[in-house]
Amino acid sequence: MNPVINSSELVAKLRTFLPSEAVLHETEDLRPYECDGLSAYRQAPMIVALPQTEDEVAEIIRICHAAKTPVVARGAGTGLSGGALPHAEGVLLSLAKLKRILEMDPAARTARVQPGVRNLAISEAAAPYGLYYAPDPSSQIACSIGGNVAENSGGVHCLKYGLTVHNILKLRVVTIDAEILEIGGESLDSPGYDLLALMTGSEGMLGIVTEVTVKLTPRPEKAQVVMAAFDDIRKAGDAVANVIGAGIIPAGMEMMDKITTRAVEEYVHAGYNLDAAAILLCESDGAAEEVAEEIQRIDEIMNMSGATETRTSRDEAERLRFWAGRKAAFPAAGRISPDYYCMDGTIPRKSLASVLSGIEALSAEYGLRCMNVFHAGDGNLHPLILYDANRPGELKMTEEFGAKILQMCIQAGGTITGEHGVGIEKINEMCSQFKTGELEIFHAVKAAFDPDGLLNPGKAVPTLRRCAEHGAMHVHQGKEKFAELPRF
Amino acid sequence: MQYIIDQLADSIRAAAGHKVPLCIRSGGSKDFYGNRIVGQADVLDPTAYAGIVDYEPTELVVTARAGTHLADLEAELNKHGQMLAFEPPHFGAAATLGGSVAVGLSGPRRASAGAARDFVLGVRMLDGRGDDLRFGGQVMKNVAGYDVSRLMTGSMGTLGLLLEVSLKVLPLPAMEITLRMPMKESDAIHRMNLWAGKPLSISATCFYDDELTLRLSGAEPAVRAAHAKLGGEEIDDGADFWKSVREQTHPFFQSGKTLWRLSIKSTALPLPLPGKQLIEWGGALRWWASDAGMDAEALHIMAKAASGHATLFRGQEVDATVFHPLAPGMMRIHRRLKEKFDPMGILNPGRMYPQS
| A415 contacts in chain B (CB < 8 Å) | 137, 139, 141-144
Alpha-carbon gap: A62 to the closest alpha carbon of chain B (Å): 16
Q: Hey, is the C-beta of A289 within 8 angstroms of any chain B C-beta?
A: yes
Window A:382-441, CB contacts with B under 8 Å: 413-422, 426, 430, 433-435, 437-438, 441
Lowest mean pLDDT among A2-16, A360-374, A460-474: A460-474
pLDDT tens column, B87-118: 999 999 999 999 999 999 999 999 999 999 99
Pairing of strands A380-387, B22-24: unpaired
Average pLDDT of the segment spanning B136-150: 95
Pairing of strands B52-56, B82-83: unpaired
Which member of B139, B196, B198 has the closest CB to residue A379?
Answer: B139
pLDDT tens column, A349-361: 889 888 999 999 9
Q: Measured between alpha carbons, how far is A304 from A292 in angstroms, rounded to an integer?
A: 19
Say whether A289 and B225 touch across the interface (CB within 8 A): yes
Alpha-carbon gap: A391 to the closest alpha carbon of chain B (Å): 31
Residue A487 has pLDDT above 90, yes or no: no
Alpha-carbon gap: B271 to the closest alpha carbon of chain A (Å): 15
Per-residue burial over A117-126, b if 16 or more Cβ lie within 10 Å, else e, is bbbbbbbebb
How far is C-alpha B117 from the geometric centre of its chain's CA atoms? 9
Say whether A198 and B150 touch across the interface (CB within 8 A): yes
CATH topology of domain B175-246: Alpha-Beta Plaits (3.30.70)
Distances A33 to A24, A95, A103, A208, A455 between C-alpha atoms, Å: 10, 12, 30, 18, 17
Residue B351 has pLDDT above 80, yes or no: yes
Nearest CA among A256, A253, A254 for reference residue A264:
A256
pLDDT tens column, A1-21: 555 689 999 999 999 999 999
Q: Hey, is the C-beta of A183 within 8 angstroms of any chain B C-beta?
A: yes
Residue A477 has pLDDT above 50, yes or no: no
Pairing of strands A222-230, A309-312: antiparallel
Query: Which pLDDT score, from 0 to 100, does residue A326 have?
Result: 87
Which member of A182, A293, A430 has the closest CB to residue B144?
Answer: A430
- What DSSP string describes A321-359? HHHHHHHTHHHHHHHHSSEEEE--EE--GGGHHHHHHHH
Query: Which pLDDT score, from 0 to 100, does residue B316 have?
Result: 76
Say whether B197 and A107 touch across the interface (CB within 8 A): yes
Amino acid identity, position B135: F
Query: Which pLDDT score, from 0 to 100, does residue A349 have?
Result: 86
Query: Which pLDDT score, from 0 to 100, does residue A52 have?
Result: 98
CATH topology of domain B2-171: 3.30.465
Alpha-carbon gap: B268 to the closest alpha carbon of chain A (Å): 9
Say whether B307 and A201 touch across the interface (CB within 8 A): no
Residue A486 has pLDDT above 60, yes or no: no
* Residue A484 or A139, more confident: A139
Alpha-carbon gap: B289 to the closest alpha carbon of chain A (Å): 20
Say whether A445 and B340 touch across the interface (CB within 8 A): yes
Share of chain B above pLDDT 70, in %: 99
Q: Hey, is the C-beta of A175 within 8 angstroms of any chain B C-beta?
A: yes
* Residue A480 or B9, more confident: B9
Residue of A nearest to B220 (CA): A290
Burial of B29 (0-12, 13-18, 19+ CB in 10 A): buried
Residues 6+ apart with CB under 8 A from B27: B47, B69, B92, B93, B94, B95, B96, B99
Say whether B221 and A286 touch across the interface (CB within 8 A): no
Residue A474 has pLDDT above 60, yes or no: no
Alpha helices in A137-256 (DSSP H): 145-151, 158-161, 195-199, 233-245
Say whether B144 and A158 touch across the interface (CB within 8 A): no
Distances B215 to A376, B187, B234 between C-alpha atoms, Å: 31, 18, 9
Query: Which pLDDT score, from 0 to 100, does residue A327 have?
Result: 83
Q: Measured between alpha carbons, how far is A72 from A90 in angstroms, rounded to an integer?
A: 7
Which member of A188, A287, A421 has the closest CB to residue B143?
Answer: A421
User: Inter-axis angle of helices A436-449 and B328-341, to 10 degrees?
Assistant: 160
DSSP code of residue B69:
B
Query: Which pLDDT score, from 0 to 100, does residue A397 have?
Result: 95
Q: Measured between alpha carbons, how far is A240 from A227 in angstroms, rounded to an integer?
A: 12
pLDDT tens column, B166-197: 999 999 999 999 999 999 999 999 999 999 99
Q: Hey, is the C-beta of A294 within 8 angstroms of any chain B C-beta?
A: yes
Average pLDDT of the segment spanning A376-395: 93
pTM (2 d.p.)? 0.95
| A347 contacts in chain B (CB < 8 Å) | 139
Give rounded-to-5 percent helix, strand, coil for chain B.
30, 25, 45
Residue of A nearest to B334 (CA): A193
Alpha-carbon gap: B67 to the closest alpha carbon of chain A (Å): 22
Alpha-carbon gap: B227 to the closest alpha carbon of chain A (Å): 12
Query: Which pLDDT score, from 0 to 100, does residue B315 have?
Result: 87
Q: Is B229 left (phi over 0), alpha (psi -120 to 50) or beta?
A: alpha
Same fold: B2-171 with B175-246: no
Query: Which pLDDT score, from 0 to 100, does residue A138 have?
Result: 85
Q: Hey, is the C-beta of A220 within 8 angstroms of any chain B C-beta?
A: yes
Local confidence band at A485 (pLDDT 50, 70, 90 cut-offs): very low
Q: Are A299 and A312 in contact (CB under 8 A)?
A: yes
Sketch the domain layout of chain B as residue ranges.
2-171, 175-246
Say whether A422 and B143 touch across the interface (CB within 8 A): yes
| B151 contacts in chain A (CB < 8 Å) | 193-195, 197-198, 445
pLDDT tens column, A169-214: 999 999 999 999 999 999 999 999 999 999 999 999 999 999 999 9
Distances B198 to A6, B29, B226 between C-alpha atoms, Å: 56, 37, 10
